[in-house]
Amino acid sequence: MSGVPAVVIAAPSSGSGKTTVSTGLIGALRAAGHRVAPFKVGPDYIDPGYHAVAAGVVGRNLDPNLVGEERVGPLFAAGSAGADIAVVEGVMGLFDGRILDDDAGVADPTGFGSTAHVARTIGAPVVLVVDAAGHSQSLAALLHGFVGYDATVRIAGVILNRVGSARHETVLRQACARVGLPVFGVVRRDPGLQVPSRHLGLIPAAERRADAVRAVDAMTVTIGAALDLPAIVAAARTRRPEPVTTWSAADAVGDAARTGDGGRPLVAVAGGAAFTFGYAEHRELLIAAGADVAGFDPLYDPLPPGTDAVVIGGGFPEEHAEALSANEPLRAGLAAHATAGRPILAECAGLLYLATELDGHPMAGVLDVVGRFGPTLTLGYRDAVAVGDSVAFVAGERVTGHEFHRSTVGPGPGAPASAWAWRDHAGVAGTHGFATTSVHASYLHVHPAGHPGAVVRFVESARSAATRRHERNTLGESV
C-alpha cells in the first residue's frame, strides 16, 4: 500500500497549461526539499520527459486503457516508493476518457481512462488549472459544473493560469470564492514559458537537452513563485488511498526470472534524440525476465557487442532521417542481426527505421516497406489481436495499444505477414504491422506492464538466439 501524498493536476480542456504548471510545480517542490514522484495520465511519452528533468527521477504513466484499471494503483505505489509527495499530470479535460461507442452509437459517458478515473482510483484530490484568458465572473459557473459533475472526484482548489492583470485576478478570485474553491496560485501571462512544439506536440526533452533544462528551470522559478506550495502539499495529504499490493517487475514475470542454461541474453534498447518514447517499466521487466540491458543511440552508435535482441521504440525518426541513414555500420548490423534470426521488437518509429527507406533516406532494410511522412494524424487506442506467433506475442493474444503518428508505410512485394488485426472506428476490419520469425514491428505502442508475458517471450527468444550463437562459436572453435 502506498500512502504517499498526491495531487492530480487537471484542467477543463486541453491547452490550459497543465504541463507547464505540473512541471514547474514538480521542480518547485523539489527545490523546497521534497522527493517528488512524477506521473502522467494516459499514453503520452513526452510530458514525462519534462517531469523527469524537474524531479530528477524517471517520469511514469498511469493509463487504465493500456495496463488495466487493476494495475493503476499498484503501479502508482511502485513509482512513488521513496517519495514524500507525488504529482500526477492529467490528460485532456478532467472527464475526457477513451471514446467507446455502444451498439446504438452512443458514446460511453464513464470517461474510462480519464484524469478523473485515475484520480478516483488512487484516491487523490484534483487541482484544476484554468486558462483564465477570456474568463471573468462566468468562471464561477464553469467551476460549479466541474465540482458537481461527479461527487466521487474531489476538486481541492484552482490554479488560475494566464491571468492578465491585478483587476482580472481580483474578479477571478471572487468567482472561485462563489463556488467555495480556494485559489492555489495565479500565473500571469508569460510567452517565455511556452515549450516549443511541432506536428505531434511538444518537442521531447531528450531532443532539446540543455534547452530543456533551461526551460524547466524557468518553469520552476516562475510557477514556484506563483503557487501556494504549502496549500498544495496540504491538499495532497488529504489523499485517501485504497490498500494495494505494490507492483514489481519480478512479481509480474514470475518464474521467468530464472535464467536457466542460456544465461542472461543482452537486449539492446535504442535511445537518443530519435527514439525517445518508452515506458520505464519495460527495462525493469526485461531485467526481471532474465536479460541484461544496454542502451545505444542509433544516430551515432553501432549495436553493442554481444547483442542478442534489439528493442526500438517510438520517437521522431523523420526529424533525424539523414543522420540515421548516415550511420551505415548500425544499419548493416541490424540487417545482419535480423538475417541471423535474432529478435527485434519495433514500435512506430522503430518500424520506420527497419524500413528500406524513410522519405528517400536509406534505413536498415530489415523489412521490405517504405516509410513516408504525411499530413494526416493517426491517433487513438486500438483493441488488437495478434495474427500469428512472434518473438513477443502468441497468435490470438489480445492487447489494447495506442497509435500516434503522421507517417505511413507502404509494403513492397517482399513484405512479411501482418502483426495485428483490428477494426477501426467505422467497424472496418484490417491488418497492421509486420511480423517474421524474428521481427515484430508495427505502429502500435503496447505498455509492457499490461502484457508482461510478451516481455518474457521476447527474452526467451533472445536467450534462444544467444544459445544458438554460442553453439556456432563453439563449433567454429572445435573445427
Predicted confidence (pLDDT) per residue in 453-464, tens digit:
999 999 999 999
Q: How many domains does the chain have?
A: 2
DSSP conformation class of 443: S
pLDDT, position 209: 72
Domain-located, residue 359: yes
pLDDT, position 105: 47
Average pLDDT score, the chain: 92
Alpha-carbon gap, residue 242 to 113, rounded angstroms: 18
Contact between 386 and 400 under an 8 Å Cβ cutoff? The reply is no
Which letter, b or e, does each residue of 234-251 get, where b requires 16 or more Cβ atoms within 10 Å of its Cβ? ebbeebebeebebbebee
Query: Which range, of 65-79, 98-112, 170-184, 347-361, averages the lowest pLDDT?
Result: 98-112
Contact between 450 and 354 under an 8 Å Cβ cutoff? The reply is no
Nearest to 459 by CA among 303, 259, 304: 259
Domain-located, residue 244: no
Domain termination site, one of 179, 209, 236 = 236
Domain-located, residue 242: no
- Whether 466 has a pLDDT exceeding 80, the answer reads yes
At 118, which CATH number? 3.40.50.300
- Whether 87 has a pLDDT exceeding 60, the answer reads yes
Domain-located, residue 10: yes
Considering only CA atoms, give the Rg of the chain: 23
Domain-located, residue 86: yes
Rounded to two decimals, the pTM is 0.94
User: Is 74 found in the same domain as 188?
Assistant: yes
Domain termination site, one of 212, 236, 260 = 236
Q: What percent of the chain has pLDDT over 90?
A: 82
User: Is 410 found in the same domain as 337?
Assistant: yes
List the domain range (segments joined by +) for residue 21: 6-236
DSSP assignments along 228-297, one per residue? -HHHHHHHHTT--PPP-PPP-HHHHHGGGG--GGG---EEEEE-STT--B--HHHHHHHHHTT-EEEEE-
User: Is 444 found in the same domain as 310?
Assistant: yes
Give the model's confidence band at 110: pLDDT under 50 very low, under 70 low, under 90 confident, else very high: low
User: Is 321 found in the same domain as 221?
Assistant: no
Residues marked active site are found at 348
Give the model's confidence band at 424: pLDDT under 50 very low, under 70 low, under 90 confident, else very high: confident
210 or 333, which is more confident? 333
Domain termination site, one of 194, 209, 236 = 236
User: Is 277 found in the same domain as 230?
Assistant: no
Contact between 455 and 443 under an 8 Å Cβ cutoff? The reply is no
User: Is 262 found in the same domain as 224?
Assistant: no
Query: Which range, of 127-141, 189-203, 304-318, 450-464, averages the lowest pLDDT?
Result: 189-203
69 or 470, which is more confident? 69
Domain-located, residue 114: yes
pLDDT, position 478: 46
User: Is 222 found in the same domain as 289?
Assistant: no
pLDDT, position 344: 98
Query: Which range, of 121-125, 348-352, 379-383, averages the lowest pLDDT?
Result: 379-383
User: Is 253 found in the same domain as 232?
Assistant: no
At 299, which CATH number? 3.40.50.880
Alpha-carbon gap, residue 36 to 184, rounded angstroms: 18
* 120-129 pLDDT per residue, tens: 999 999 999 9
User: Is 260 found in the same domain as 171?
Assistant: no
pLDDT, position 378: 87
User: Is 409 found in the same domain as 371?
Assistant: yes
- In the chain, helix, strand, coil percent, each to 5? 40, 25, 35
- Whether 104 has a pLDDT exceeding 60, the answer reads no
User: Is 371 found in the same domain as 227?
Assistant: no
- Whether 346 has a pLDDT exceeding 50, the answer reads yes
Give the model's confidence band at 258: pLDDT under 50 very low, under 70 low, under 90 confident, else very high: low
User: Is 453 found in the same domain as 410?
Assistant: yes
